[in-house]
Amino acid sequence: MARLFSPRPPPSEDLFYETYYSLSQQYPLLLLLLVIVLFGLLALLAVAWASGRELASDPGFLTTMLCGLGGFSLLLGLASREQRLQRWTRPLSGLVWAALLALGHGFLFTGGVVSAWDQVSFFLFVIFTVYAMLPLGMRDAAAAGLASSLSHLLVLGLYLGPQPDSQPALLPQLAANAVLFLCGNVAGAYHKALMERALRATFREALSSLHSRRRLDTEKKHQEHLLLSILPAYLAQEMKAEIMARLQAGQGSRPESTNNFHSLYVKRHQGVSVLYADIVGFTRLASECSPKELVLMLNELFGKFDQIAKEHECMRIKILGDCYYCVSGLPLSLPDHAINCVRMGLDMCRAIRKLRAATGVDINMRVGVHSGSVLCGVIGLQKWQYDVWSHDVTLANHMEASGVPGRVHITGATLALLAGAYAVEDAAMEHGDPYLRELGEPTYLVIDPRAEEEDEKGTAGGLLSSLEGPKMRPSLLMTRYLESWGAAKPFAHLSHVESPVSTSTPLPEKALSSFSPQWSLDRSRTPRGLDDELDTGDAKFFQVIEQLNSQKQWKQSEDFNPLTLYFREKEMEKEYRLSALPAFKYYTACTFLVFFSNFIIQMLVTNRPPALTITYSVTFLLFFLLLFVCFSEHLTKCVLKGPKMLHWLPTLSVLVATRPGLRVALGTATILLIFSMAITSLVFLPAASNCPFRAPNVSSTASNLSWELPGSLPLISVPYSMHCCVLGFLSCSLFLHMSFELKLLLLLLWLAASCSLFLHSHAWLSDCLIARLYLGTLDSRPGVLKEPKLMGAISFFIFFFTLLVLARQNEYYCRLDFLWKKKLRQEQEETETMENLTRLLLENVLPAHVAPQFIGQNRRNEDLYHQSYECVCVLFASVPDFKEFYSESSINHEGLECLRLLNEIIADFDELLSKPKFSGVEKIKTICSTYMAATGLNATSGQDAQQDAEQSCSHLGTMVEFAVALGSKLDVINKHSFNNFRLRVGLNHGPVVAGVIGAQKPQYDIWGNTVNVASRMESTGVLGKIQVTEETACALQSLGYTCYSRGIIKVKGKGQLCTYFLNTDLTRTGPPSATLG
């Protein structure tokens, strides 16, 4: 598009535009021109016959008419096929022009005495239509228009120059003709330039709209993929509607709800199976990995699990560290959901066995499966993650925790649904899981029927470790092996979605190279036919171009009324009529040229009576006043230097451009002024029929009689008054944006007035001119072509219908231009909304500083995103009492109302993130009633290491304030819900690795010992307290917080640790407290 807007478009686009222009705009006009000429010739024959003239007695006239009818009928036949026109546009246009010119010269020398005013109106018609109706470029049209003018002037000058002095003065008439032709050329060129500009603007807007539509489609696909990467389809539309409502409301928070509750997107599903899987030994392996290796390893592992889940119709729910859990039977019920989960568990164990056999790394897979019912959906306002809740989910989790590495551990409920599909064995109950022991139900281990076959095969392929050498780290061995699995990268699907098309996107290369008559001209070809041979983008391109064809105006449309061209939407029609028109001043300037031409003509062909001069002087004054009003804004600098009382004058131009009523009034007044001045000379001619050349005593030898009526103007002013009336018709077409109905009214008014003047009230003047011209000849009645009043009336009608066709065409394209601009604005606004929606969705999955890596111009889907940080503060905040609060009964809709309260808690926590002081806090995820967040993730890699400890860990204070704010929010919820929930918080800081994993449902997460210890700080903490490690306590004390020692406690996986409680009752107190000892 940038190239299209350049002053000189590239040849391919310019050629395409010219093709579009000639086909969509000029093709129907060319046909209408030929039809008008044919009907004009038939009208001449009809008038000649109706006036009682013997056609046979004038063989020259009859021959000219028959040749004209035959020639233009042949041209109409040649032009009736668009394919032929496109291929031979220039030659065919040249033939039409040459035929019109030949017809005009034939008319000159047919039917009687040749005069200087003969066929001036017809040549004016030829000149104007060359510009307005023939598919020629501006240069070709100007050359044809000037050639037409010169041919008339030269032929008459050469022919009439040697004539006797009995003819009226030739030079003034030729000068008047030259002024007429010059005005016709300027008016035609101006009309063509305006239409060219309007058409090119419409063409650009159509292409911009096409590109905007492609971009909009792309954004829709992006946000659809993003939404479906977070949520199942059945929830996506409902939640998308809420996001759109938030965007339209112009706020990031939720719209106010009438019941004061946040929206809850949770539904209950029965008949599902839940699978939990944990990679045994992964924590130790991860500690040996580099950040890139860790993220790659996790992405490949869980990418493989996602592929297995897809094969077995399971939906992955969430990834928690190295724990993976999914559900079968969502969102659609499946009769074999239990078998699906068991098969998936077996395949996961099999994949890990192959990995262990190939790399020698000591890891395994522990899987637990249970069948029952779940509540599933999304809670909270930010970082949506589809999740499941119920006692059955809890049981499945315990089944995994108490399972056997390499085996699938199932409950009796799942076994019953297997219907003997797999052999099982009783699981030993020595695992000591208190939850399962309390239930007292037997559990089982599934026997993998393919396990023995794999054991027999062993490692026939050889260990990768033996090939790579004994010194390679296990993590590197695993990484190299996992790369062979080829799991998709996160958001890789966005790479396959067509990238957004900016406004600088050029025309489709395929469209330009393949554009031919067969594409756009064969209207029997359907859009589906296009799709079969072109790609979707090019098909849409040609469909848009097809909508610009002017023949569409006569067909049923969703936008226009085919008869009136009014917009079907009343608001759009009102907006169109009230739209500003800055170009109005140029319309008036060009009509002034027509007025000035009329003035010169009148001065040349009359004896310039004082009354006529005074009338024109007054009219000039009115015109100058009008031009001053229209162009006053260009005089701003001059006016501002003058008196203050005149400073309002420049606003007049703005008023004219923006007030439709004022424009209509001024435009109508201007046209009526030109109409009235075109016939002003008739006022100074006698109204009574008193022609001295019809007197009986006038002999044939009285050749020295004057051409003037006694005490009046010369008779030759009569035909030139008709020619001035024709220029008045042309002035109406110069107001390009004037409504069609107003143009029709003015043209009808002027047609009626002109015909009544020259055919009725002042018809005797034409007869008197004929009597003077044919004085002394035997036949005083010339042919119809030489009788001014008849030829004038026919010219009026021809120009009336021609300008009516152009007015309709102009109206259609003005409205089409307005429509495309409006569509473009709407699509740009919708695209902007979609881009904001995509951004919100992406930032709901990823932190704001990570999102640009996956969308827009900076998208880098070829690489996995990973980042290491030296100092990140990790928070785990849980509401342990919620586990006891949660119950499933008919009263609370099987736990749904309990989740509604949890949704309120999490949503209120999320609302804190929108506060400026917590802008550095990043929510990671929620795990049931546990809230995980971190600070320090928006720092640049390596930045922390270059700063001193106090600066690098300053964000710890933000996290403490956030934790205190969480407790305050929970107190408010307790007050309104009559509960006594208490928060348990664990904090830790240190190095972490951040990354995005999972192709099916990309998930941002952080890993490392810092995260594990922070989780243990929460799980071993005390209600109402913030527990921190000794290192974190020291860092917080340096920031002015008070901590006191809890003592040494046993932490799973970490041994004995000395922990501290943060004194949240105190704010920063200045010097460090001695309680840390």
CA dist., res. 872 & res. 987, Å (int)? 10
Count other C-beta atoms under 10 Å from residue 498's C-beta: 13
Token pair 């003018």 is found at 149
Judge whether 383 and 298 are in contact, CB under 8 Å: no
Judge whether 1044 and 1061 are in contact, CB under 8 Å: yes
Among residues 343, 1016, 1025, 1046, the one annotated as catalytic is 1016
The DSSP line for 366-420 is: EEEEEEEEEEEEE-SSSS---EEESHHHHHHHHHHHTS-TTSEEEEHHHHHHHTT
- Annotation says 1016 is catalytic: yes
Strands (E), 216-301: 265-280
The DSSP line for 693-716 is: GG-TT--TT-TT--SBPTTS-BTT
- Contacts of 146 by beta carbon, 8 Å cutoff, 6+ apart: 185
Among residues 284, 577, 1052, 1068, the one annotated as catalytic is 1052
Rounded to an integer, what is the distance from CA 744 to the centroid of its chain?
36
CA dist., res. 1036 & res. 950, Å (int)? 10
Instruction: Calculate helix-pair angle for 788-845, 120-132, nearest 10 degrees.
Output: 10
The SS3 of residue 365 is strand
Count other C-beta atoms under 10 Å from residue 317's C-beta: 23
DSSP strand pairing (984-997 vs 866-878): antiparallel
Q: Name which of 383, 290, 306, 276 is nearest 1005 in CA terms.
A: 383
What token pair was written down for 958?
């933000």
DSSP 446: E
Q: Name which of 139, 201, 303, 190 is nearest 814 in CA terms.
A: 201
Torsion angle of C-alpha atoms 845, 849, 851, 854, degrees rounded to 10: -140
Token pair 């077409």 is found at 733
Helix-then-strand count for the chain, H and E: 40, 16
CA dist., res. 1008 & res. 300, Å (int)? 18
Output phi, psi for 326, to 5 deg: -145, 170
CA angle 1014, 1019, 1024 (to 5 degrees): 95
CA dist., res. 422 & res. 618, Å (int)? 107
Judge whether 668 and 675 are in contact, CB under 8 Å: no
- Backbone φ/ψ region at 1049: left (φ over 0), alpha (ψ -120 to 50), beta: beta
DSSP strand pairing (1026-1029 vs 1055-1062): antiparallel
Token pair 């043209």 is found at 747
In terms of C-beta distances under 8 Å and separation of at least 24 residues, what long-range contacts does 742-751 make, across chains too?
742/664, 742/668, 743/803, 743/804, 743/807, 744/804, 744/807, 746/668, 746/671, 746/672, 747/800, 747/803, 747/804, 747/807, 748/800, 750/675, 750/725, 751/796, 751/797, 751/800
- Annotation says 1052 is catalytic: yes
CA dist., res. 666 & res. 1031, Å (int)? 83
Cα 146 to Cα 94, 152, 210, 980: the distances in Å are: 14, 10, 40, 95
Output phi, psi for 1047, to 5 deg: 115, -170
Residues carrying an active site annotation: 1016, 1052
